[in-house]
Chain A
Amino acid sequence: MLEALFGRLTWDSIILVQEFEDPNLNTFITAGAAAMMPVGGALVVALLFWMKWWKPLFDWLTSVDHKKIGTMYIIFAVIMFFRGVVEGVLMRVNQAVALDGGFLSSDHFNQLFTTHGTNMIFFVAMPFLIGLINIVVPLQIGARDVAFPKLNQISLGLTAVGGFLIMISLLVGEFSTGGWTGYPSFTGRLINPGVGPDYYILSIGISGIGSTLTGVNFAVTIYKMRTAGMSFMRMPLFTWTALCTSILLIFAMPPLTACCLMLGLDRYLGFHFFTNDMGGNLMNFINLFWMFGHPEVYILILPAFGVMSEIAATFSGKRLYGYTGLVAATMCIAVISFMVWLHHFFTMGQSATVNAAFGIATLLVAIPTGVKIYDWLATLWGGRIRFTTPMLYLCGFFVLFAIGGLSGVILANPTLDYQLHNSLFLVAHFHNVIIPGVLFGVLAGIYFWFPKIYGFRLLDGYSRITAFLWAFGFILAFLPLYQVGMMGLTRRTVNYDDPALVPWLVVSATGALFLGLAFLFVLLTLWRSVVNRKKLAVPFGDPWDGRTLEWWTPAPTPEWNFAVLPKVDGRDPFTEAKAKGTAYQPIEKYEDIEMPANTYYGLIIAALGSGLGFGLVWYMWWLAIICFLGCIVTVITYAFLPERKKIIPAAEVREIDEAWRRAAREARGVTRDDECNEANQGLARPDLITNP
């Protein structure tokens, strides 16, 4: 009876119980992490009661507003980022002292690198970028919302299911030890019968469906929802990269879903897709995984490139250099990204011809990427550069990403990959493109667009310190790993026996501590900025003398984004309007605005999806079946429910919009000299230096 109810979940599966049964440093660390969940959960609930925040909470959770959904993606990413950073620091510190034995047990370390990788890729980097895309793209193309607002909510819900599963694995059971790539037959049923690989498959499988839907949503949004005059070649570069990322999501996520499903069939129903025996072949998993995994790299980096483009133009007060070239380069990267997956396993024994072909295809990626970097440098050339926080990230990106590119080109050579594959050189390489590339882009983007959505800037001093900490920490933590990798140390190594490695790894661990500090500074920046939000307010909505449509609204941006949908006749419509002095002219005619109403759809899917995943992991079949049927019933029911709309009357829109325009016409605004002062109310004054 108990087994039917709880499946293979027993009292001992709960991590906190293990601490009492076998107290040591490892169980202490895992128990500490596990305890954060009930304790943190209780604190959050208490806070909600104390502040009476239940209603606003549900307003957010049921919202279909793209800005709120984007925000929730980013909050989710920050929470998961906390865990990822702690795991990274733990691993690096362990390795610094791991000559002939560190303080982490092998099993604990193996789970750490698996969750660190899975977490950082699927639940930190992707939600960060999808969050930014959600917030920015509709504003940049002059739309009021995305094409499918409810679908957007479902995507978020499914991502949250993945996050829930990877988090609950801290408390109940264990996570996979097979690395974020999860190669069978190590993750197969015979070798790893435990719940770990099941958590892995289900968390990335279910959230992967959410990502596919996001791709569909944003591709359609960008194709169909652009405002009048916004032709493809007038779209801001960030929107272009978002479009490419959406296309990549649509084509790259299904192989992941497929290989998760197939591995799941192997594990649950005894199929033989990837088993050692009966004609199964693990090479098929590896191919399928990287058919997703390589485009994934560009899913992450392209929007970061988009952010860099916006920043280069805005903070040098100049038109973007080589717009056409940048668009072409972005598209080139998107296409080539599907033709290089094999370089993740040059060493699998295929012929030299295959390796050489994929190696050269990989080198080709360097061409458009190089062009992009030159284009951004040319954008700065002849500008008037302001060293704001995003510009600091951009500078760090130029220098550090170039090194990451160099090591990428090295690894593209099959000959060299035979030596460096699976070594810490590889680990150094992908952190070298993901931290200075993706993370710098995300952080710069958050600083850049934060005032747009929330109405106040982030504190400048704190943000600058944060930027320096990230760069400094990164250099210390990862550049030594290139050397260590060439000296022969492999990735995923809990202990080692070569004393020559110790000094390098100690430096690396120090860097990891700085990265941890940098993360704390991100939180500190947010907290201090929220406290000082009155002084930092930018109600006019244009704190950086922006160039594109998103800056042409008040801050915080109203739910309907644009009172009247703007008409566009150039690439930098807002800059042109400001130059002509027409940016804040009164508008004659306002109309009622129809917005989609709040819905519980996404929340219900998230709850049922979590139940489905948890039930499957623990063999609680009744739970899995109920939740699965529940999902189907929910989808069918919502398909038949009439669409509910919320009407915002023209009078209300007129009142708010006219007040904003009038105030903007009457106020003086600030020049770029006062950009980071309290004087900056979000109204840009024509600049003496930049407009001689």
Chain B
Amino acid sequence: MIDPPLTQAIAESFLQPMGPVATEQLRHLKLVTLLTMIAVVPVLVATPCILWSYRRSKPKGKYRPNWESNPVLELLMWGVPILVVTLMGVGLWNTTFRLDPYKELGKDPLQIHVIGLDWKWIFIYPDEGVALVDELVVPEGRAVELTLTTDTVMQSLRISAIVGQIYAMPAMTTKLNFIAARQGEATGMNTQFSGNGFWKQKFQVFSVSQQEYEARMKKAQSSDLALTADTYAILAVQGTAEEAKKPLAIENRKGPIEMVLGDSKIFQRVLARYMVEDMTPESQPGSPSYDPAKSPLPAAPEKPMMEM
């Protein structure tokens, strides 16, 4: 494999794929387009030809006002689309299973928990004891599994250059598996409209070498900021990650927010809140009257909740 250049553009979409999933999606897009052309091109070609040949002012072909059926033509008309759809159906079935976002892409994928908030993402690395806001660092070539939820309205996480999207919904978890095949930087975002700042809800994905990954984790582990129920409640206030720095008292710090995972059960506690609480406008993040002081997270459930 050729090493990528050191400085390279940020991959915004699957048109510049950075991983096997996006690569295959791009290939499938081309295949589907070509297959559909079998049915579409005849229409595009026949339309001008027929209009020209049978125009009333100077017709070429014979006038057959009562012609209304022809078995051979009928067979072609139904046969060709059925054939194309059958071919495409096989491809659809195979790719859908092969690229199922729930399918693990390698042994023992790196587990990352994701909480979507207005308008930022928290990435929790339970094994490393680290939480990053609006920044996802993954080692190149390693299988990764995101487990997602939100603590507001429905959102959808997509890292177009690496993998497609999956909804994240309150009180539920969804999964997204991917591999970043080479080193580089990609943009991830929320694609599901969720309010005024939704279009700002973007994050950078860094695919780095194993050494660099470990260095980054070490750096975050030494952060003086911890993700606890209190800091979480502040992060849940509507606003971008940059805007959250002030209430967290780190407004002069450059770069993304890096935190130690102060409470290892925080993801489970966020999920649990909708099971045990009757939410009020003050306790529901995303509500206009949300108040971090009045939004306590419940204790983590003893048994892990059923995963959907």
Chain A interface (Cβ < 8 Å from any Cβ of B): 106-107, 110, 177-179, 183-186, 190-191, 193, 275-278, 282-283, 316-325, 345, 347-349, 351-352, 355-356, 359-360, 363-364, 366-367, 370-371, 373-375, 377-378, 380-387, 395, 398-399, 402-403, 405-406, 409-410, 412-419, 421-423, 486-488, 490-496, 498, 500, 672, 689-690, 692
| In the bound complex, CA of A352 to CA of B44 (Å) | 34
Give chain A nearest CB distance to B70 CB in angstroms: 8
Give chain B nearest CB distance to A275 CB in angstroms: 7
- Residues of chain A with a CB closer than 8 A to B287's CB: 190-191, 193
Give chain B nearest CB distance to A270 CB in angstroms: 9
- Residues of chain A with a CB closer than 8 A to B158's CB: 418-419, 422
Q: Are B56 and A386 in contact (CB under 8 A)?
A: yes
- Residues of chain B with a CB closer than 8 A to A386's CB: 56
Identity of the chain A residue whose Cβ is nearest the Cβ of B12 in the assembled complex: A488
**Sample of 11 further A-B pairs with CB below 8 A, known A415-B99, A416-B28, A422-B165:** A186-B195, A366-B84, A370-B77, A382-B61, A387-B55, A406-B33, A410-B33, A417-B164, A419-B13, A487-B12, A492-B193
| In the bound complex, CA of A283 to CA of B169 (Å) | 9
Q: Are A278 and B278 in contact (CB under 8 A)?
A: yes
Give chain B nearest CB distance to A490 CB in angstroms: 4
| In the bound complex, CA of A689 to CA of B153 (Å) | 66
Which 3 pairs, one residue from A and one from B, show the smallest C-beta to C-beta distance? A418-B164, A349-B174, A488-B13
- Residues of chain A with a CB closer than 8 A to B195's CB: 110, 177, 186, 191
Q: Say yes or no: is B40 at the interface (Cβ < 8 Å to chain A).
A: yes
Chain A to chain B contacts (Cβ below 8 Å), 27 pairs: A183-B154, A191-B152, A191-B287, A193-B287, A277-B274, A282-B169, A321-B69, A322-B74, A349-B101, A349-B102, A349-B174, A356-B92, A363-B85, A363-B89, A367-B78, A370-B77, A370-B80, A371-B78, A373-B43, A381-B50, A402-B44, A409-B32, A416-B25, A418-B163, A419-B29, A419-B164, A422-B192
B 64-75 to A, binary, CB cutoff 8 A, 1 in contact else 0: 111111100110
Kindly specify which of B120-128, B131-139, B196-204, B221-229 makes contact with the partner chain. B196-204
Identity of the chain A residue whose Cβ is nearest the Cβ of B200 in the assembled complex: A495
Q: Say yes or no: is B252 at the interface (Cβ < 8 Å to chain A).
A: no
Assess A366 versus B191: contact at CB under 8 Å? Given A349-B166, A349-B167: no
Give chain A nearest CB distance to B34 CB in angstroms: 11
| In the bound complex, CA of A414 to CA of B172 (Å) | 21
- Residues of chain A with a CB closer than 8 A to B51's CB: 380, 385, 387, 395
| In the bound complex, CA of A375 to CA of B70 (Å) | 11
| In the bound complex, CA of A277 to CA of B284 (Å) | 10
Give chain A nearest CB distance to B134 CB in angstroms: 14
- Residues of chain B with a CB closer than 8 A to A692's CB: 63
| In the bound complex, CA of A229 to CA of B112 (Å) | 70
| In the bound complex, CA of A434 to CA of B189 (Å) | 28
- Residues of chain B with a CB closer than 8 A to A409's CB: 32, 36, 88
Give chain A nearest CB distance to B98 CB in angstroms: 8
Q: Say yes or no: is B231 at the interface (Cβ < 8 Å to chain A).
A: no
| In the bound complex, CA of A276 to CA of B193 (Å) | 17
- Residues of chain B with a CB closer than 8 A to A325's CB: 74, 77-78
Assess A356 versus B67: contact at CB under 8 Å? Given A349-B175, A486-B15: no
Assess A413 versus B28: contact at CB under 8 Å? Given A278-B278, A349-B167: yes
- Residues of chain A with a CB closer than 8 A to B277's CB: 277
Q: Say yes or no: is B1 at the interface (Cβ < 8 Å to chain A).
A: no
Residue of A318, A413, A419 touching B92 (CB-CB under 8 A): A413
Chain B contact-residue range equals 35 or more
| In the bound complex, CA of A607 to CA of B261 (Å) | 60
Q: Say yes or no: is B110 at the interface (Cβ < 8 Å to chain A).
A: no
Q: Are A490 and B29 in contact (CB under 8 A)?
A: no
Within 8 A of A (CB), among B2-58: 12-15, 22, 24-25, 28-29, 32-33, 36-37, 39-40, 42-44, 46-47, 50-51, 54-56
Give chain A nearest CB distance to B63 CB in angstroms: 6
| In the bound complex, CA of A690 to CA of B32 (Å) | 43
Identity of the chain A residue whose Cβ is nearest the Cβ of B287 in the assembled complex: A190
Q: Say yes or no: is B215 at the interface (Cβ < 8 Å to chain A).
A: no
Identity of the chain A residue whose Cβ is nearest the Cβ of B81 in the assembled complex: A370
| In the bound complex, CA of A191 to CA of B164 (Å) | 27
| In the bound complex, CA of A403 to CA of B36 (Å) | 10
- Residues of chain B with a CB closer than 8 A to A419's CB: 13-14, 22, 25, 29, 158, 160, 164-165
| In the bound complex, CA of A367 to CA of B88 (Å) | 12
Q: Are B167 and A418 in contact (CB under 8 A)?
A: no
Q: Are B152 and A319 in contact (CB under 8 A)?
A: no
Give chain B nearest CB distance to A502 CB in angstroms: 14
Q: Are A186 and B81 in contact (CB under 8 A)?
A: no
Assess A191 versus B286: contact at CB under 8 Å? Given A349-B175, A366-B39, A402-B44: yes
B 93-110 to A, binary, CB cutoff 8 A, 1 in contact else 0: 101110111110000000
| In the bound complex, CA of A178 to CA of B192 (Å) | 11
Residue of A106, A318, A367, A383 touching B81 (CB-CB under 8 A): A367
Q: Say yes or no: is B288 at the interface (Cβ < 8 Å to chain A).
A: yes
Assess A422 versus B156: contact at CB under 8 Å? Given A367-B81, A367-B82: yes
Q: Are B284 and A356 in contact (CB under 8 A)?
A: no
B 276-300 to A, binary, CB cutoff 8 A, 1 in contact else 0: 0111110010111000000000000
Q: Say yes or no: is B59 at the interface (Cβ < 8 Å to chain A).
A: yes
- Residues of chain B with a CB closer than 8 A to A276's CB: 170-171, 274, 279, 284
Identity of the chain A residue whose Cβ is nearest the Cβ of B97 in the assembled complex: A352
Q: Are A418 and B25 in contact (CB under 8 A)?
A: yes
| In the bound complex, CA of A493 to CA of B202 (Å) | 12
Give chain A nearest CB distance to B131 CB in angstroms: 22
| In the bound complex, CA of A385 to CA of B54 (Å) | 6
Assess A347 versus B164: contact at CB under 8 Å? Given A352-B102, A496-B199: yes
